[in-house]
């Protein structure tokens, strides 16, 4: 496994409601399902499909969801759109979302099926983003990727070399699982980030549509911006 000279946590971002805008954090606890509270809610229709930027058996494309943001205030999640705000359990929020999306939808907590698309935590390196910006002339804002952990790196795509091994971040240990396949979401304005420059097409042509890596939580713990990141071999049973 390739171990760079120095990697640190450059940013942490949590998305309390799947597909809505998120919140930047200075520190966060990681548990078995990822960042505490990440994707804890989703907008769900009467067929049980989750509002997203794509259509699959599990997701229904509802781009109106990107107009909203969510943040955690103590033990509560608040959803905002412009100057308006609602608590997650406010019946008026379901009416608002239904009107905005033109279909009966509601905000639901995660059940037995995880809201995450892949691994519990998503990561990408700053050097990878800088490479994309230079190579393709785009605004490579990490919010377009909706990643949880931004890593300060010097080598593009170094995070991909960690797949199959472990990562220690602050008090938590992760297992890097796989590269992250991307979809049209990277070219949608969301989370207060503009989508200047097409990202998906060059990713398809040169990167097999993949950017960043998924990781699972091997050992829970607290992570903070500035923490050192240490890559290691696969953990032994």
DSSP state for residue 89 in the 8-state scheme: T
Question: Does the pLDDT at position 3 exceed 80?
Answer: no
Number of neighbours of residue 96 by Cβ within 10 angstroms:
18
Residue 226 has pLDDT above 70, yes or no: yes
**Residue-level pLDDT at 4:** 53
Q: Using a pLDDT cut of 70, give the percent of the chain over it.
A: 97
List the domain boundaries for the chain: 8-14+23-34+117-232, 36-109
pLDDT at 7: 96
Bridge partners of 219?
173
At residue 127 the predicted structure's pLDDT band, cuts being 50, 70 and 90, is very high
Could you tell me what percent of the chain has a pLDDT over 90?
86
| Helix count and strand count (H, E) for the chain | 3, 18
The predicted-structure confidence for 102-124, as pLDDT tens digits, reads as follows 999 999 998 877 777 778 999 99
The CATH code of the domain at 8-14+23-34+117-232 is 2.40.33.20
105: burial class by Cβ within 10 Å (0-12, 13-18, 19+)? buried
Mean pLDDT of 78-94: 96
Query: How is residue 201 written in tokens?
Result: 């097409």
Asked whether 64 and 96 are in contact (CB, 8 A), the reply is: no
Q: Please give the pLDDT value at position 5.
A: 62
Question: Which of 152, 134, 153, 148 shows the shortest CA–CA distance to 202?
Answer: 134
Does pLDDT of 237 surpass 70?
A: no
C-alpha 35/C-alpha 193 separation (Å) is: 21
pLDDT band at 45 (very low <50, low <70, confident <90, very high): very high
The model's confidence at residue 6, banded by pLDDT at 50, 70 and 90, is confident
Give 201-208's long-range contacts (Cβ < 8 A, gap of 24+).
Answer: 202/132, 202/135, 202/136, 202/138, 206/135, 208/179, 208/181
């Amino acid at each position: 496994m390739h171990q760079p000279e120095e990697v640190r946590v450059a940013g942490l971002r949590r998305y309390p409601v799947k597909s809505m805008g998120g919140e930047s954090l200075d520190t966060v606890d990681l548990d078995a399902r990822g960042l505490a509270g990440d994707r804890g809610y989703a907008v769900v229709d009467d067929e049980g499909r989750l509002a997203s930027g794509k259509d699959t058996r599990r997701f229904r494309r509802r781009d109106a969801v990107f107009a909203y943001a969510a943040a955690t205030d103590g033990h509560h999640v608040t959803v905002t759109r412009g100057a308006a705000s609602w608590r997650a359990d406010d019946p008026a929020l379901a009416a608002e979302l239904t009107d905005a999306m033109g279909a009966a939808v509601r905000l639901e907590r995660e059940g037995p099926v995880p809201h995450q698309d892949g691994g519990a935590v998503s990561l990408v390196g700053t050097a990878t983003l800088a490479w994309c910006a230079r190579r393709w002339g785009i605004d490579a804002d990490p919010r377009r990727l909706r990643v949880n952990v931004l890593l300060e790196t010097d080598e593009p795509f170094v995070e991909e070399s960690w797949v199959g091994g472990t990562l220690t971040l602050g008090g938590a240990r992760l297992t890097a699982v796989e590269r992250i396949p991307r979809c049209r979401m990277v070219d949608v304005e969301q989370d207060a980030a503009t989508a200047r420059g097409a990202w998906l097409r060059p990713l398809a042509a040169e990167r097999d549509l993949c950017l960043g890596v998924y990781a699972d939580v091997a050992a829970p713990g607290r992570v903070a911006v500035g923490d050192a990141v240490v890559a290691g071999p696969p953990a032994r049973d």
